[in-house]
Structure 1
Amino acid sequence: MSVSVVGIAGSFSQPSRTRELVAQGTERAALLTNGTARVFDMIDFGPSLGAALRADELDANAAAILERILTADALVVGSPVYKGSYTGLFKHLFDLIPPEALKEKPILLTATGGGYRHALVIEHQLRPLFGFFEAATVPTGIYASGEDFPDGVNLSETLEARLTDGVAQLVARVPVQLTERPVPAFAD
């Protein structure tokens, strides 16, 4: 069974810096675990996400995405910062998830914003949200502003270093897939 790393970008813009940051984190974690990577934007859920009061009210497409999130071995989540917090539909998605569903799931937290005055959004907004779920968020949270994407896509050296640290911490928390690892031979 392959390790599954799922990214959730709380943005509606395409392309977006949030999607780029989440995608790079997700792909790097999958590469380091010989796993699979998949990234979803809020727009991928379609209109049923905003209309659903419970997860069982999601259409088939949105329900399938939610199932991939819940069954992933690790998550990379990120949101652009609006008015000092994550996006509303991003929060609504997690409102549909039962509290025990993310318990001990390794999660790398990311956020993007126009400047550094929102840099604490990870500590003041995202970490408490995932603390409620008792998720295993990694110590390094990654906030990026516009200047961290010098050409709009590529990451600055500083952002690269933070992402490398965060991904390493995430990968270290991914459960070992014993069925895929060779059993060492011991001498009698």
Structure 2
Amino acid sequence: MLIAGVDEVGRGPLVGDVVTAAVILDPNNPIEGLADSKKLSEKKRLALFAEIKQKALAWSVARASVAEIDQLNILHATMLAMTRAVEGLSVRPDLVRIDGNRCPDLGDLPAEAIVKGDSKEPAISAASILAKVVRDQEMVELDARYPQYGFAGHKGYPTKAHMEALAEHGAIAEHRRSFRPVRKALGLE
């Protein structure tokens, strides 16, 4: 049975897209050391990122944009991004396992939500690694364009430093206008 694991990164930050990934691992070509991406060092994540892309039967990274997040809300935008990741797979899975407590509408594809799935299902762990590496890299790139915000350090999460930068410099186009701290910083709340 071909199982696709799906996970997201970036629901909580105030800036940037929500990034999702779907991975179908090859049972004949196992990958050692898969775990929840948040529990791995950056060096280990980067090594696994390359290995997953090389060894998986199929993988796909997708996203929902800041505009989609602001229009739909973060939950619905995440479900949309997860659907896009599954649709982007070059191999059709028999079952989709999704990290969390709800599933996007995948039509006739059977799906199940697994709470803490990124530490229980290797395919979800692999998806969490792909999504985290891609989103973290985007935050490093955003940091290079807007160093005053410190995105490389806090990855867009509402840390004290991020909130102070938002108050001092205002929001950039990549900030999620539907999130209360951003609205507050813009004087819209």
**Which band: TM-score by shorter chain?**
under 0.3
* TM score, norm. by length of structure 1: 0.26
| Higher relative contact order, structure no. (Cα contacts within 8 Å, ≥ 6 residues apart) | 2
* TM score, norm. by length of structure 2: 0.25
